[in-house]
Amino acid sequence: MRRVNEGDVTVPAKNADKRVERSKAKVMAETYRQLSRAGVGGVSIDEIARNSGVAKTTIYRHWPSRSALVIDACSSLGSNVEAPDTGDIRADLISLLVNLAEQLQNASWSSVYPSIIDAAERDAEIATMQRALHAAFMAPIETVVERGKAKGQPGPERSTSSLVASLVGPLFYRRWFSKEKIDERFVADVVDGTIPLRPKV
């Protein structure tokens, strides 16, 4: 049996693994709590150690820097949504954007995300993480837009990335900049403005 040395005591590897997992989970929970309360700038390893009861040396063994901790805590942000495929592009986009609107207005990640965007302006590691997070987040919307383009709806005149910006940008704008309500009427306006209905061929 693999055995690991934890301080003075040699313990069976399985128990040690469990203990490590429990400590890591405590650290992650406390990091996420600090992120939600005070943003990336408010994450302090000293305070995480104090509140989680996990020693700083142990924290540094798993995460070499504060950015590494923040990145790990953020990797679970948002929920992975499947791209719907009802055969109706408009309905699929409205369903994805209504779900996004709901999350923007109610999920806890939506008040943490601006601090990641802010940190990404100055921290290259966080910028890389934000790029990956963003790409994963936009993937189902891109999938539906590409499916629409394959059907000629909309036509070839705009790129997928340009269409995604016109679908998602107005929702982000209302959540974080103008602080207006994102209701179903608004979502339908945005979808219909971006992907106008075409006469069937």
Q: Using CB under 8 A as the criterion, which residues of the chain lie in contact with a second copy when the complex forms?
A: 37-39, 41-42, 111, 114-115, 117-119, 121-122, 131, 134, 138, 157-158, 161-162, 164-166, 168-174, 176-180, 186, 189-190, 193-194, 196
Residue among 79 and 162 whose Cβ is closer to a second copy: 162
**Smallest gap, in angstroms, from Cβ of residue 172 to a second copy?**
6
Q: Which residue's CB is nearer to a second copy, number 72 or number 118? A: 118
CB of 100 to a second copy, least distance (A): 12
Q: Using the CB atoms, write b or e for 148-184: b if 16+ within 10 Å.
A: bbeeebbeeeeeeeebbebbbebbbebbeeeeeebee
Residue 4 or 38: the one with the smaller Cβ distance to a second copy is 38
DSSP helix/strand/coil, 60: helix
Minimum CB distance to a second copy, residue 7 (Å): 36
Closest to a second copy by CB, 53 vs 196, is 196
Q: Retrieve residue 24's tokens.
A: 């890591």
CB of 106 to a second copy, least distance (A): 14
Distance CA 49, CA 23 (A): 10
Helical spans, DSSP H, in 151-180: 160-172
Min CB(196)–a second copy separation in Å:
8
Q: Which residues are CB-contacts of 189 (< 8 A; sequence separation ≥ 6)?
A: none
Q: Which is nearer to a second copy, 27 or 120 (CB)?
A: 120
Closest CB to a second copy among residues 12, 42: 42
**Cα separation, 71 vs 26, whole angstroms:** 16
Closest contact distance (angstroms) between CB of 77 and a second copy is 14
Dihedral of CA atoms 83, 178, 126, 62 in degrees, nearest 10, equals -80
Counting Cα atoms < 13 Å in the Cβ hemisphere of 114 gives: 11
User: Contact, 170 vs 161, CB < 8 A?
Assistant: no
